[in-house]
Every structure is written in C-alpha cells, then in structure tokens.
Amino acid sequence: MINSRAFLGTLQTAGIHFYAGVPDSLLKAFCACLSDHVESKFHIITGNEGGAVALATGYHLATGRVPLVYMQNSGFGNCINPLLSLADPEVYSIPMLLLVGWRGEPGLPDEPQHVKQGRVQGKLFDAMEIPWAIIGPETNDYEMIICESIARAESENRPVALVVSQGTFEPYNSTREDHDMPVLTREEALEVLLHSLGERDIVVSTTGMISREVFEIRAAAHMGHHRDFLTVGSMGHCSQIALGIALEKKSRQVYCIDGDGSMLMHMGSLAITGNMQPENFRHVVINNGAHDSVGGQPTAGFSIDIPAIATACGYRDSRCVHDRATLTKGMDWLKKSVGPLLMEVCVKKGARNDLGRPDRKPVENKKQFMDYLS
C-alpha cells in the first residue's frame, strides 16, 4: 500500500501544485491528505468532474504548469466532453494528470452500477487516445510511474491518466476538525420523511447513502420497496428522473430525495424544473455539507443558500429546516402546497457502520417501480 503523504510529496517534487476534482472512495485517503497539506486555493473540490478539467485548464493557461484532476471512474463521463473538445492535443493541447479511482475493476467484487464502468474503463481511455497506467497496492515503482506520466503530459501537451486500484492507499487520519451544527442525522430525517408519505406518493432517491438508508428504512418498517426508484448511479441526475415522472403522473405527488453534492453537480437542473412548473414536484435536499459516501470531503452545501437558488430558478416556494419539529412542519407544507417546491434539510455527516445495501438488482427495482406507477 502507498502512503498518501509520500504520494503527494512525489507529485509536488515532480512539479504538481494544483489539484481539483470530485472525491472518490478509493482516493479518500489521498483526498484527505490534500485537504490537510495543500492550501484551499490550490486544492478545489468542484461541482463535477468536467468542471475540474476546465478549472485545471484555466490554471495551466495562467501558469504554464501541469495540474492534477482526480475523480472516481463513475464520474469520468462528466469530463469526456472537456477532455476531448478542450484539453485534447488536437484542440487546445492542455497537459494535465488525471488520477482516477478504478471502481468495478475486473476480478474484484463491486456494486452493479460500477461493474460495467470498470470493465470498459481502459477501452474508454484507449478510444479517447489518453495514455494511462495502473497504480495498485503492490506497485513499488509508483514514483517512476508518476514522473514518467507527468513528463509525457508536459512533452506532448496532453492529458495522461493514472488509474488507482482498490486498496492502493494506506488509511489516513485527517487533522481537520468537523463542527456539526445540525442536530438530525440523515437517517432520522429520512425516517420522518418516509413515514409522512402516502401510499400513492412516488419517491426518487439519489445515489450513495441516501438510497441505501431509504431501502433499509422501508425494510425495517415492512413498507415494501415498490414506491421508490433508487438511483444507485448517475450522481446528480435524480431530480430530472423525478421530473420526467412528475410530468407524466400529474395526479401523483413525486418526491425527489436529493443530496447537496448531487444537487451541486448538475445545478442547472433546478432551472429546468422551475421552468416546467410541475405542481406535483417536491424536491428534498438532504444537506450535510459533505460527500459522505466517498470519505466525507466537504461540498459547498453549507456555504450557499439553496432555497434562494431554487426560488430564483422558478420554484414556487422553498424553505430550510434544521430539526425534527421544523422537518415535521415542513412535510405538512410540502404535502399541502402547490409545487414545484424545495425543502433543504440540514443534517449531520456520517452513517451507521452497519448500514447495508439494497439486496436486489437495479433492473428488479425498475420493474417493481414501473408496475407500481402503472
């Protein structure tokens, strides 16, 4: 295994001093190390991976130096366009080092949404003509691989990728202190929300911990899972899935249970929902100010006014709640008011250590959900 501090030191010695990206569970030790040892103006957690490529491009244009962009391979699709139409050698020819966590690596067990992505990842790099190398827990010459990759990025003025296998980085204990202002846990908030809904209400939940907790809350209460579409992949898109349903099922209330990182990743979706004015659309943003599923790295969730953004985008009304009492009142407001509506629910970081995962395949969830809708 590789020590994150030593890995960062190798990058810095090789001339990389700017880092941008979206956190990944396979890179969480390295991301935490960045937060501890790199100034915030030189380490920026972006809304999505494409934005990280653009930010890194701006840094190179201003300095002439090679930046690093990190991501989980499931988010690689967000940066295909800027990599091909901006950074590619046949366009602006921007050198950068991509550090990509390899979820779904062939031969290793992983969740269904990662298996296909992991299997075709190398072919994607090849099709895009991006040179790539693998770094794993048994890689002893990672310093040489890093230096050779950076040298190639510089000499050929192009993106070069390092793909990181599961278990590559040693555990890392961050020195950052978290100050939890909210009193509710995310699971407590979801329990209040789900137990407030009617039998005909439709739920679309975002990827990560939220969908896992929705599944377990339903199971514990013997509610069944037919009312819920669990968006286990496609981070940032659950609100538009919910919008597509709401526009077709106008007599049913549709609840999109989103996260702050997910909402920020494709925030333009708020404007589309506001423009369409679906009266049956209820958008609940569970905000813990963190990318909780991949290591707890911070988002901009607590630094912005999410309800004000929603209102500016055309939502009929919005509000923020911080505890069980205001959440209960907020649910009454959601059920009785005309949408589109947004309710931000501020919660603590973290989840139960024994939190499970859905025990059915995504296609099974889809079939049961579609049967329910019809």
Q: What are the pLDDT digits (tens) for 109-159?
A: 888 888 989 999 999 999 999 999 999 999 999 999 999 999 999 999 999
For the four alpha carbons of 213, 283, 179 and 292, in that order, the dihedral sign comes to positive
In the chain, the percentage of residues whose pLDDT exceeds 70 is 99
Instruction: Please indicate, yes or no, if residue 314 is contained in any of the structural domains.
Output: yes
Averaged pLDDT for residues 36-59: 96
Domain boundary residue, one of 116, 133, 164: 164
Do 238 and 362 have their domain in common? yes
In CATH, what number is assigned to the domain containing residue 13?
Answer: 3.40.50.970
- Dist CA 337 CA 335 (whole Å): 6
The tens digit of pLDDT for each residue in 157-199 reads 999 999 999 999 999 988 776 666 788 999 999 999 999 999 9
Position 274 scores a pLDDT of 98
**Could you tell me the pTM of the whole model?**
0.90
Do 106 and 42 have their domain in common? yes
Position 178 scores a pLDDT of 63
Enumerate the β-bridge partners of residue 203. 228, 255
Position 179 scores a pLDDT of 61
Position 295 scores a pLDDT of 76
Averaged pLDDT for residues 366-370: 94
Instruction: Please indicate, yes or no, if residue 346 is contained in any of the structural domains.
Output: yes
Do 223 and 366 have their domain in common? yes
Show the domain range for 210.
186-373
For 1-30, letters b (16+ CB in 10 Å) and e give ebebeebbebbeebebbbbbbbbbbbbbbb
Position 177 scores a pLDDT of 67
Instruction: Please indicate, yes or no, if residue 170 is contained in any of the structural domains.
Output: no
With a cut of 70, say whether residue 97 has pLDDT above it: yes
Instruction: Please indicate, yes or no, if residue 171 is contained in any of the structural domains.
Output: no
Do 316 and 366 have their domain in common? yes
Do 109 and 233 have their domain in common? no
- Dist CA 280 CA 277 (whole Å): 9
Instruction: Please indicate, yes or no, if residue 179 is contained in any of the structural domains.
Output: no
Position 134 scores a pLDDT of 97
| Average pLDDT score over the chain | 94
- Dist CA 174 CA 106 (whole Å): 31
Helix (H, G, I), strand (E, B) or coil at 317: strand
With a cut of 90, say whether residue 85 has pLDDT above it: yes
Do 151 and 29 have their domain in common? yes
Helix (H, G, I), strand (E, B) or coil at 340: coil
Instruction: Please indicate, yes or no, if residue 172 is contained in any of the structural domains.
Output: no
Enumerate the β-bridge partners of residue 267. none
Position 294 scores a pLDDT of 81
Cα–Cα nearest to 291, from 236, 215, 358: 236
Length of the chain: 374
Number of domains in the chain: 2
Do 153 and 206 have their domain in common? no
Do 330 and 238 have their domain in common? yes
Do 159 and 239 have their domain in common? no
Residue 293: which pLDDT band, with cuts at 50, 70 and 90? confident
Instruction: Please indicate, yes or no, if residue 175 is contained in any of the structural domains.
Output: no
Do 106 and 219 have their domain in common? no
The tens digit of pLDDT for each residue in 211-221 reads 999 999 999 99
Averaged pLDDT for residues 333-350: 95
Phi/psi of residue 21, each to 5°? 165, -170
Domain boundary residue, one of 131, 164, 197: 164
Structure tokens at 112: 């269904």
The tens digit of pLDDT for each residue in 221-273 reads 999 899 999 998 889 999 999 999 999 999 999 999 999 999 999 999 999 99
Instruction: Please indicate, yes or no, if residue 169 is contained in any of the structural domains.
Output: no
CA within 13 Å, CB half, 317: 11
Residue 41: which pLDDT band, with cuts at 50, 70 and 90? very high
- Dist CA 301 CA 264 (whole Å): 8
Do 124 and 271 have their domain in common? no
Please name the amino acid found at residue 308. Answer: A
Do 89 and 45 have their domain in common? yes
